[in-house]
Amino acid sequence: MSPTTKNPRNQYLRTDRMPHIWCPGCGLGTTINCFITAVEECGLPLDLISVVSGIGCTGRIAGYLKLDSFHTTHGRPIPFATGLKLANPKLKVVVFSGDGDLCAIGGNHFIHAARRNMDLTIICVNNFTYGMTGGQVTPTTPMEAVSSTTPYGNIEEPFNLPFLADCSGAVYVARWTTFHVRQAAKAMREAIQKNGFSFVEIISPCPTLYGRRNKLGDGLKMMQAFKDNSVVCNDADTRSVALDFRGKIACGKFVDREKTSFLDMYNTKMAERFGPFYEPYEGVK
Amino acid sequence: MKADPKGVLTGAHFLDGDHACCEGALAAGCRFAAGYPITPSTEVVERIAARFPSVGGIFIQMEDELASSIALQGAVWGGAKAMTVTSGPGFSLMMEHIGYAAMVETPCVFVDVQRSGPSTGLPTLPAQADMMQARWGSHGDYEVIALCPNSPQECFDLTIKAFNLAEVYRVPVMMMMDECVGHMTEKVVIPKASEIHVEPRRYTTAKPEDYLPFKAEKNSAPPMVRAGDGYRFHVTGLTHDERGYPVTNAEVQDRCVRRLVDKIRANARQIIMLEESDTSDADIVVVSYGITSRVAVKAIQQAREDGYKVGHLRLVTAWPFPEKRLRTLASHVKAFIMPELNLGQMYFEMQRCVEGRAATYLLPHAGGSVHDPELIYQKIAYAARHMRVKEGKEKEAAK
């Protein structure tokens, strides 16, 4: 075998946009790598995968993946993805969203897309902070943690995202850290293959802002902490997987269930109402 | 291209403006709509919800107007013709995505059945309160197209027009209806599908490796692609170059934003629709739009019968504003009067274009009803009196 000089993953990336804007030690590169593995393992034609993201560090993922990719507005990738999916249900639509984008400004869209079981895969890169704007508190920042807008420590209880997704109706819910690259890739693959609203939370280090302010060390140290503190608990009750500051990180696949997706429900209902005259909706012609 | 007969309800109907708007969208080829209930626009989405499934379309009621106004853009990039429908408070929420549509050039239609504001205001009563918001509501420099129907028939006709304009210029096109037009019931004639022109989406013919998604001919919109066609393109609301890639500098910002603005400004003459009567010999011109134009007609007729030389200029297109026409008229017209259901919005645009060459009068109304034609008549008489006094003074000075 002759040695290759090109990274085989380049074909998935907009190499003409490199170098990227992310900081050393950031978990977003690892997340992309896991996603590419998942895409390869799915065997889906790349032309049929669309990536939608919102705003923030995670929002920039759409700009680096060489797929049909949409960098939308802050908090709104899920409703954009909803329209895209409904216009062309043959597309596999994956949303990348940071914790602030997904569950602060976009929180309402998240719970409603889960409730209606829209066939979307949501990958939330949770680094407990707004990176792009300089490290402010988010709805997932643990109590006590310091951020630029909670200089004396956070006093608000954070969201437990797997529980939020679960109780809103998601059919697939998993959480891994960027240390768990194989498990994360597998979870992303399973999520993509699921018909319905699937959710994967990736706990990711932000050594530049969250890590530095909270004296958690550099990227390597934060990864070591992910390794040391994570506990695999598949099928755990999502009520029990909340995260706290410097505490254990419950990882695993928490929810994997079958439920009719929005579009299947729509076609079933309309066929019932219109009878044999109804042509199942398979996208706009 | 002709309309798909599947969506066209050919015949003479007795419809309100809201329902007619839905039929216009169907005739135009709209097959995706996202909305959130809000008075007085709800009837549009109710009819859409009932009609779309039987013609191969889909409607989704979203969780709010922020969601509706971006879901429709996802649908457009997935290949659909799409619209959303709302009223003032919802329109306020949609501003974010009107900016996004302008920036990424999503061809789409926003229907705003206006009611009185600010805030919740008078939900069930008319106003023309969102005219400036339609033009300037989102941050940054951009251009839009806004149409003002004054009857259910026009709610049908102009909705088709709105979709066609959206495809040509790739901008958000606004249907600026109001509670009166939305809820008034009149005869609406829907022609045969073969008689309805529908602008097809212009897709690129370039190979994926050669395709630049945001490269356009001068003063025009670039051809489109849709997700899933193998182009693996990127779209961003950030300032972008022709590849669609974000670039952070003043030079690309200038190029990007100027094109968004120029494609409308340079084509304003093709876009603008006006209706004029008796303006060629008029001393006084009433400028009106939407429901107000129906009210104005009565006052103008009466004034002409009483010997006033009054004309009528009706703005079917509010944006882009007919600057050139106003300037030309201002060379012989001595006074312009604008009645509108707000305390002064389009009036100031008119005043700007007249450039002090004629008197301008605003006939404001805070909304909740329409103008009494008598008030418009009185304003005409008032303007004529002032004109005579001014002329008298000028003659005096000339002696």
Within 8 A of B245 by CB-CB distance, chain A residues are 14, 16-17, 63
Give the residue from chain A lying closest to B237, CA to CA: A72
How close A230 comes to chain B (CA, Å)? 36
Candidate from A48, A70, A284 with C-beta closest to B32? A284
CA distance B165 to B263: 12
Residue B33 touches partner A, C-beta closer than 8 Å:
no
At B137, the pLDDT band (50, 70, 90 cuts) reads very high
Q: Is the model's pLDDT at A3 over the cut of 90?
A: no
Q: What is the pLDDT of residue A6?
A: 87
Give residue-wise pLDDT tens across range B209-218. 999 999 999 9
At B135, the pLDDT band (50, 70, 90 cuts) reads very high
- For residues A173-197, give the mean pLDDT: 98
Q: What is the pLDDT of residue A160?
A: 98
Q: Which of residues 242-301 of B touch A (CB under 8 A)?
A: 245-246
Within 8 A of A112 by CB-CB distance, chain B residues are 62-63, 67
Residue B74 touches partner A, C-beta closer than 8 Å:
yes
Predicted model pTM: 0.97
Q: Is residue A134 part of a domain?
A: yes
Q: Is the model's pLDDT at B86 over the cut of 90?
A: yes
Q: Is residue A93 part of a domain?
A: yes
Q: Is the model's pLDDT at B287 over the cut of 70?
A: yes
Note whether A86 contacts B72, CB cutoff 8 Å. no
For chain A, how many structural domains are there in total? 1
Residue B56 touches partner A, C-beta closer than 8 Å:
yes
Mean pLDDT of chain A, nearest integer: 97
Note whether A274 contacts B53, CB cutoff 8 Å. yes
CA A39 to chain CA mean position, Å: 14
Say whether B273-398 and B5-195 share the same fold.
yes
Within 8 A of B57 by CB-CB distance, chain A residues are 281, 284
Q: What is the pLDDT of residue A119?
A: 98
For chain A, state the CA radius of gyration. 19
Tell me if the domain spanning B273-398 has CATH number 3.40.50.12780.
Answer: no
How close A125 comes to chain B (CA, Å)? 20
Q: Structure tokens of B269?
A: 């003459």
Q: Is the model's pLDDT at A2 over the cut of 80?
A: no
Give me the domain span that covers residue A148: 18-277
Residue A220 touches partner B, C-beta closer than 8 Å:
no
Residue B1 touches partner A, C-beta closer than 8 Å:
no
Residue A89 touches partner B, C-beta closer than 8 Å:
no
- For residues B339-365, give the mean pLDDT: 98
Contact (Cβ atoms closer than 8 angstroms) between residue B83 and residue B111: yes
Q: Where are the alpha helices (DSSP H) in B206-290?
A: 250-265, 268-271
Q: Is residue A12 part of a domain?
A: no
- In one-letter notation, the amino acid at residue A261 is S
Note whether B70 contacts A76, CB cutoff 8 Å. yes
Query: Which residues are registered as beta bridge partners of B312?
Result: B277, B286
Give the residue from chain B lying closest to A118, CA to CA: B60
Q: What is the pLDDT of residue A1?
A: 65
Q: What is the per-residue burial (b if ≥16 Cβ within 10 Å, else e) of A64-87?
A: bbbbbbbbbbbbbbbbbbbbbbbb
CA distance B293 to B299: 10
Q: Is residue A284 part of a domain?
A: no
pLDDT above 90 covers a percentage of chain A that reads 96
Q: Is A231 helix (H, G, I), strand (E, B) or coil?
A: strand
Q: Is residue A171 part of a domain?
A: yes
Give the residue from chain A lying closest to B77, CA to CA: A84
How close A87 comes to chain B (CA, Å)? 5
Q: Is the model's pLDDT at B6 over the cut of 80?
A: yes
Q: What is the pLDDT of residue B258?
A: 97
Residue B58 touches partner A, C-beta closer than 8 Å:
yes
- For residues A171-196, give the mean pLDDT: 98
Note whether A283 contacts B34, CB cutoff 8 Å. no
Q: What is the pLDDT of residue B96?
A: 98
* CA B200 to each of CA A125, B28, B56: distance values in angstroms, whole numbers, following the listed order: 39, 10, 17
Q: Is residue A86 part of a domain?
A: yes
Residues contacting B131, CB < 8 A, separation 6+: B146, B176, B318, B340, B342, B345, B346
- For residues B186-197, give the mean pLDDT: 98
Candidate from A86, A91, A112 with C-beta closest to B32? A86
Residue B91 touches partner A, C-beta closer than 8 Å:
no
**Can you identify the CATH homologous superfamily of domain B5-195?**
Thiamin diphosphate (ThDP)-binding fold, Pyr/PP domains (3.40.50.970)
A29: domain CATH number is 3.40.50.970
Within 8 A of B70 by CB-CB distance, chain A residues are 72-73, 76, 79-80, 83
Residue-range domain boundaries for chain B = 5-195, 273-398
Contact (Cβ atoms closer than 8 angstroms) between residue B182 and residue B154: no
Interface-testing mutation among A36, A73, A74, with chain B (most B C-beta atoms within 10 A): A73
Q: Is the model's pLDDT at B244 over the cut of 80?
A: yes
How close B165 comes to chain A (CA, Å)? 20
Mean pLDDT of chain B, nearest integer: 97
Q: Is residue A149 part of a domain?
A: yes
How close B63 comes to chain A (CA, Å)? 7
Q: What is the pLDDT of residue A163?
A: 98
Q: Is residue A74 part of a domain?
A: yes
Query: Which residues are registered as beta bridge partners of B111?
Result: B85, B175
Within 8 A of B36 by CB-CB distance, chain A residues are none
CA distance A139 to A100: 7
Residue A20 touches partner B, C-beta closer than 8 Å:
no
Q: What is the per-residue burial (b if ≥16 Cβ within 10 Å, else e) of A167-196?
A: ebbbbbbbbbbbbbeebbbbbbbbbbbbeb
Give residue-wise pLDDT tens across range A111-132. 999 999 999 999 999 999 999 9
Residue B53 touches partner A, C-beta closer than 8 Å:
yes
